[in-house]
Amino acid sequence: MIVPLNHILLLSAVLFSLGMFCTLARRNLIMMLLGVEIMLNAAAVAFIGASLHWQQMEGQAVVIFILAIAATEVSIGLAAIIAIYKRSGSVDPDLQTTLRKVEGNPS
């Protein structure tokens, strides 16, 4: 392996931080979902690097697993976002108070 493990872990950490920032800072549910995806991919990169470093196949198997889970997560997440948008006309996470209002107990 030409690239040292540390570099890969660094890349993974940077990606993870970017994703985290995106999830925390953006005022848009879709961008939050994107942030989550990026964090997932950061974890996948770390797995691949570890798998190459120790010459074990399990890491790659886990990555394929992550891909599958990411795909389902996106599909369900987008569906939920569309449903939310149809209900409230916005994708701003802070405006979503429907659940509280249904219970008749505004925050």
Partner 1 sequence: MGTLTSYPPSLIAAAAALVMPLLAFGVIIVGTRSRHGLSAVLSISASGFSTVMAISLLVKHWHMTAPLTYQTTWMASGIMAIPIGIQLDPLSLLMFTVVAVICLLVQLYSLGYMAGDPGFGRYYGFMSLFAWAMLTLTLSSSLLQLYIFWELVGLASYLLIGFWFEKFSASEAGKKAFVMTRTGDVAFLLGIVLLWLQLGTLDIPLLNHPEMVSRQLSPGMITLTALLIFGGIAGKSAQFPLLTWLPDAMEGPTPVSALLHSATMVAAGVYLFARLFGFFSLSPTAMGVCLAIGTISMLIASTMAMVARDIKQVWAYSTISQLGFMLMGLGAGSLFAGVFHLTTHAGFKALLFLCAGVFIHHHGTNDMFEIGRQGGRKRKTAVAGLLVGAGALSGLPPLAGFFSKELILGHLLDSGHWLAFLAAVVGAFLTTYYSFRLIFIILFPKGEQIPVSNPHHSEPHPARGERAMAFVLWGLIGVTLVLGFFQNPLQAFVTRFVSGADHATHHLWLAVAACILATAAIVQAWFEFGHKKARQIGWVERIPFLTDLFGQRWYLDRLYRYLLDTVIYRGVSKLFTANDRHVIDGAVDGLGRSTIDLGRLVSRLHTTMIQYRLMVMFAVVILLIHYIGWGF
In the complex, which residues of this chain contact partner 1 (CB under 8 A)? 20, 23-25, 32, 93-94, 96-97, 99-100, 102-103, 105, 107
For partner 1, give the closer residue by CB, 2 or 94: 94
What's the closest the beta carbon of residue 67 comes to partner 1, in angstroms?
23
For tokens 């394929």, what's the residue? Answer: 64
What's the closest the beta carbon of residue 54 comes to partner 1, in angstroms?
20
**Rg, C-alpha atoms of the chain:** 18
For partner 1, give the closer residue by CB, 55 or 105: 105
What's the closest the beta carbon of residue 100 comes to partner 1, in angstroms?
6
For partner 1, give the closer residue by CB, 28 or 60: 28
For partner 1, give the closer residue by CB, 25 or 82: 25
Rounded Cα gap, residues 32 and 51, in angstroms: 29
Half-sphere exposure of 50 (CA within 13 A, CB side): 14
Q: Where are the alpha helices (DSSP H) in the chain?
A: 5-25, 29-54, 58-88, 98-102
By residue count, the chain amounts to: 107
Rounded Cα gap, residues 106 and 53, in angstroms: 53
What's the closest the beta carbon of residue 34 comes to partner 1, in angstroms?
14
